[in-house]
Structure 1
């Protein structure tokens, strides 16, 4: 009986923690776009795409009424004219949550094609909570940290997610991680930005906050990130030779140096760039 009580308590704690981060943490949703399209009226959703041939794509897979504020942010970033953008938007008068598809199941063909041909990807989704918090995850830890530092410098409350958080965005099946191989070598993955309802509501109604928030992300992507990419290419080009090369030590060496840069604990974007530069020259 005691063991059973502990199990029940553990489940309650897990449920409480998960639901505090994402209202959709336990939502099954549709398992594919084909399943959604077969069940839903086409007039209840729309797909907006702007492919300008950029190396960076920004997604809102739960836009419109599904997770209010996400497509507004992507549209604001689209305004800078530097990124491919994609939004899947719910248009129902109510119950747009019924159009939900998990990021790991999101396979709408236009989105998949856009991500597959992009070097870098960012997905904006929603999280629960009336407070104003940004949760950042995804496989591209370096870009995630860069965006975090830019947002933090502007006074935003940002938390980094990883396993076992349900919206950490680290799974290979997550659409944001299906971009092109970095430097034709290996999968770098993308960044998933989960924004609390409180902040999303503000982004949807306050143009000043929307412009500031989107401008900060744009600065990270268009100003700081290209510098870091060149430094990462330098790390990747420092390839090992000899016997160990047949076991592909390049990826291991690359990951090790990126992790070393992250462990230095940069306090701002400039410091992160300097830390990546330092490890690239070792």
Structure 2
């Protein structure tokens, strides 16, 4: 059994991302074309694990502090959706929360490792989710406007996260396209003990602002010295929302 490592280690390729989001015209009104589940190379984790090599093509990262009731997920981490692993990892670490990432570590072609959130059934992620009450799942969307689509079934927390990001000066889309809504009960974000979580879809333009020189490649984003003050402010806003009663 491969060992799950515990270190910060999520970019879907530009082609896959641009297919997923045809165009983001405005933060509040974006033209969006969702990718059907059949567009994924693999149907679920078992299918992926039968064809890809853990430790060579992908890795699983898990950190579960004792008593943690909140999880931060980056199921398209590493080089699948650039920058999402460091965001989720820092959010978890600074908040004393649990952290899970499924990360692409191929030299190229990490888009094949993308499993849509409603089909993502990796056992360690499911086990973690069965123990926590609140979840923030970090994703990357395409888009030339710096904004975030906040979705998920936890409507109260969605409202708090949107308000916290807005108060911190970050653009939040008023309308979340159906393909980014994150409301499917089978979505890994919603498979915690309450059956509801939050899904953050952060545009490429926004993610680029979190890293010096706007680089989103895995080696660059994993190096904490390349993180910008905007990354710390964004994560702090999300954790502030989680702390609210």
Q: Same fold (TM over 0.5)?
A: yes
- TM-score grouping bracket, smaller chain normalisation: 0.7 to 0.9
TM-score, scaled relative to structure 2: 0.77
Equivalent residue number for residue 38 of structure 1: 50
Which of 1 and 2 has higher RCO (CA within 8 Å, sep 6+)?
A: 2
Change (3 A) 1:196 1:118: same
Aligned to 1:197: 204
Q: What number of residue pairs does the alignment pair up? A: 203
Which of 222, 229, 232 in structure 2 is aligned with 1:208?
229
Residue deviations 1:120-169 (CA, integer Å, cap 9, x gap): 1110111111221100000111100100000001111102555x610110
* Structure 2 Cα separation of the partners of residues 16 and 180 of structure 1: 33
Selected match of 1:140 from 151, 154, 164: 154
Tell me, which stretches of 5 or more residues in structure 2 are unaligned?
A: 1-17, 25-31, 213-226
Unaligned runs of 5+ in 1: 1-14, 182-186, 228-282
1:152 aligns with 2:166: yes
User: Going by fraction, where is helix more abundant, 1 or 2?
Assistant: 1
Q: Per-residue CA shift, 1:26-57, capped at 9, x if unaligned?
A: 43242111100111122111111111131111
Offset of residue 119 of structure 1: 0.7
CA RMSD in angstroms comes to 2.1
- Quickly say closer, same or farther: Cα 1:33–1:200, change in 2 above 3 A: same
CA deviations 1:234-256 (Å, max 9, x no partner) are xxxxxxxxxxxxxxxxxxxxxxx
Distance 1:29 1:140, change over 3 A: farther
* 2:86 aligned with 1:72: yes
Output the TM-score relative to the length of structure 1. Answer: 0.67
Structure label with greater radius of gyration? 1
> Structure 1 29/137 Cα, relative in aligned 2: closer, same or farther at 3 Å?
farther
Measure, in 2, the Cα distance between the counterparts of 1:37 and 1:17: 24
Give the corresponding residue for 2:242.
Answer: 221
